[in-house]
Amino acid sequence: MRFHILTIFPDIFDSYLNESLFKRAQKAKRVLIKTYDLRDFTRDPHRKVDDRPFGGGPGMVLKVQPIWSAVRAITMRIAKGRTRRPRIRTILFSPRGKTLTAATARRLARYDHLVLICGRYEGVDERVADHIADEEVSIGDYVLSGGELPALVLMEAVSRHIPGFLGKEESLEEVNGSFPTYTRPEVFVPKHGSRTMRGRGWNVPPILLSGDHKKIKQWRETHGAAETS
Dihedral pair phi/psi, residue 9, rounded to 5°: -130, 70
- For 42: left if phi > 0, alpha if psi spans -120 to 50, otherwise beta; the answer is beta
Per-residue pLDDT of the chain (229 residues; tens, 9 = 90+): 999 999 999 999 999 999 999 999 999 999 999 999 999 999 999 999 999 999 988 889 999 999 999 999 999 999 887 778 899 999 999 999 999 999 999 999 999 999 999 998 888 999 999 999 999 999 999 989 999 999 999 999 999 999 889 875 555 455 556 788 899 899 888 877 656 666 678 899 999 999 999 999 899 889 876 554 4
Q: Domains of the chain by range and CATH?
A: 2-159 (3.40.1280.10), 178-223 (no CATH)
Give, in degrees to the nearest 5, the angle at Cα 72 between 34 and 35: 15
Give the end-to-end CA distance of the chain in Å, rounded to a whole number. 22
Contacts of residue 209, Cβ cutoff 8 Å, sequence gap at least 6: 186
Report the alpha-carbon distance of residue 198 to residue 53 in Å, rounded. Answer: 61
